[in-house]
Copies of this chain bind each other. A is one copy, B any other.
Amino acid sequence: MATHKLLLLPGDGIGPEVMAEVKKVVGWLDSHGFASFSIEEDLVGGAAYDEYGVPITDEAMARAFNADAILLGAVGGTKWANVAFEVRPEAGLLRLRKDLQLFANLRPAMCYPALADASSLKRDLVEGLDVLIVRELTGGVYFGEPKTITDIADGQKRAVDTQVYESYEIERIARVAFELARTRSNRVVSTEKHNVMKTGVLWKQVVSEVHGSEYGDVALEHQLADSCGMQLVRNPKQFDVIVTDNLFGDILSDVAAMLTGSLGMLPSASLGGVEEISGRRRALYEPVHGAAPDIAGKGIANPIAMIGSLAMALRYSFGLGEAADKLEAAISGVLADGYRTADIYSDGMKKIGTSEMGDAILAEL
């Protein structure tokens, strides 16, 4: 049996707590013969900064390049508010995304039936909701140069960020979106601001070209990013796959996640291209939720998004679809049994903590 190289980067805030539950699950899968894992662990984000003065070390990056898959908890927190921009916690995550060329960020926004009442939206608007946001992750305003703050006259400063997209970056993310749509409801909404931004003009044009030449069977609609934000609130079930750039994807995927009422439940995958020689696809899996410093260390964080991220890794990086199914079924089972962490608790349910939720999932396995 092949040994799968897994790198764990717990990061900051509730990251280490939810990662601890993943370790239990990995141990279980290993000892029950589902797969053999070799696990490494390292620091990222504020945790790495506190230890080494950088948000990710070159050694950790080397481990990341060497891993079959990476699981990341979360980075950031008010503790590092005054750290220089270049070494802020988030820079560790951004370096991973950029250097590993993890250009395709898949963010499913699904509403778990048992949790539909936790949504802000009326039940009929979100029940059965299943939107997949495909966010470009290695381009746009996150990485474009120049990106500077300079002193100008009289104590005034001038800050600049640059949003850059080249055709090939849009082509490859469009393909990912269309391919995924074919495995789902075959509909893609592409989102930009072509009425205001040149990158939006190119985005719309390239997505239309890829569609016309290779994916005419998939229904394609273009929506402006502001309209898309509105439509997500008005009627989220109109969407199947949404493809968008790095910055719009950041905001719209958070809005979509919050619509479901299941934020603590949502995993995500950040995928690179398939490498020519090894046939391997670099991949990082992380919860959609952030570091949540306000509840860190209290043992009350919901580990399901993190464990769900492991399930995605099993399926997409390790070819262990069966184990992934089993793990996801265990999560559903625990919810059906009424177990809830504080974020998803409602009257009549059984309120439990992070570690108990991990144990409940193990017991269900």
- Residues on A lying within 8 angstroms of B by beta carbon are 76, 85, 88-90, 94, 120-122, 125, 141-142, 144, 147-149, 152, 155-168, 193, 195-199, 201-203, 225-227, 229-230, 232-235, 247-248, 250-252, 254-255, 257-259, 263, 290
29 intermolecular pairs with C-beta atoms under 8 Å apart = A76-B195, A90-B195, A121-B121, A141-B141, A148-B198, A149-B201, A149-B202, A155-B167, A156-B166, A156-B167, A158-B166, A159-B164, A159-B197, A159-B198, A159-B199, A159-B203, A160-B198, A161-B197, A196-B250, A225-B250, A226-B251, A227-B290, A229-B229, A229-B254, A230-B257, A233-B259, A247-B247, A251-B251, A251-B252
Minimal beta-carbon separation of A122 from chain B (angstroms): 6
**Residues of B contacting A255 in the complex (Cβ-Cβ under 8 angstroms):** 229-230, 232-233, 255
The 3 A-B residue pairs whose C-beta atoms are closest, nearest first, are A159-B202, A226-B254, A230-B258
Minimal beta-carbon separation of A223 from chain B (angstroms): 11
* A123 to chain B: closest residue by CB: B122
**Residues of B contacting A248 in the complex (Cβ-Cβ under 8 angstroms):** 251
Q: In the bound complex, what is the Cα–Cα distance between A181 and B168 (angstroms)?
A: 46
**Residues of B contacting A160 in the complex (Cβ-Cβ under 8 angstroms):** 144, 162-164, 198-199
- Of B163, B230, B234, which is within 8 A of A163 by CB? B163
Quick check: A234 and B250 within 8 Å, CB to CB?
no
Given known contacts A121-B121, A149-B198, A166-B158, A254 and B234 CB-to-CB distance under 8 angstroms:
no
* A222 to chain B: closest residue by CB: B81
**Residues of B contacting A230 in the complex (Cβ-Cβ under 8 angstroms):** 254-255, 257-258, 263
Quick check: A193 and B250 within 8 Å, CB to CB?
yes
Minimal beta-carbon separation of A22 from chain B (angstroms): 24
Minimal beta-carbon separation of A286 from chain B (angstroms): 14
Given known contacts A196-B90, A234-B120, A162 and B163 CB-to-CB distance under 8 angstroms:
yes
**Residues of B contacting A88 in the complex (Cβ-Cβ under 8 angstroms):** 195
**Residues of B contacting A197 in the complex (Cβ-Cβ under 8 angstroms):** 141, 147, 159, 161
**Residues of B contacting A122 in the complex (Cβ-Cβ under 8 angstroms):** 120-122
* A249 to chain B: closest residue by CB: B226
- Of B120, B158, B161, B229, which is within 8 A of A125 by CB? B120
Minimal beta-carbon separation of A296 from chain B (angstroms): 16
* A117 to chain B: closest residue by CB: B122
Quick check: A227 and B254 within 8 Å, CB to CB?
yes
Quick check: A225 and B201 within 8 Å, CB to CB?
no
Minimal beta-carbon separation of A254 from chain B (angstroms): 4
**Residues of B contacting A258 in the complex (Cβ-Cβ under 8 angstroms):** 229-230, 233-234
Given known contacts A156-B167, A161-B163, A234-B258, A226 and B198 CB-to-CB distance under 8 angstroms:
no
Q: In the bound complex, what is the Cα–Cα distance between A125 and B258 (angstroms)?
A: 14
Give 6 new A-B contacts, CB below 8 A, not counting A148-B198, A156-B167, A230-B257.
A157-B167, A193-B250, A230-B258, A233-B258, A234-B258, A251-B251
**Residues of B contacting A166 in the complex (Cβ-Cβ under 8 angstroms):** 152, 156-159
**Residues of B contacting A152 in the complex (Cβ-Cβ under 8 angstroms):** 166
* A152 to chain B: closest residue by CB: B166
Q: In the bound complex, what is the Cα–Cα distance between A117 and B87 (angstroms)?
A: 47
Minimal beta-carbon separation of A207 from chain B (angstroms): 13
**Residues of B contacting A76 in the complex (Cβ-Cβ under 8 angstroms):** 195
Minimal beta-carbon separation of A194 from chain B (angstroms): 8
**Residues of B contacting A225 in the complex (Cβ-Cβ under 8 angstroms):** 250-251
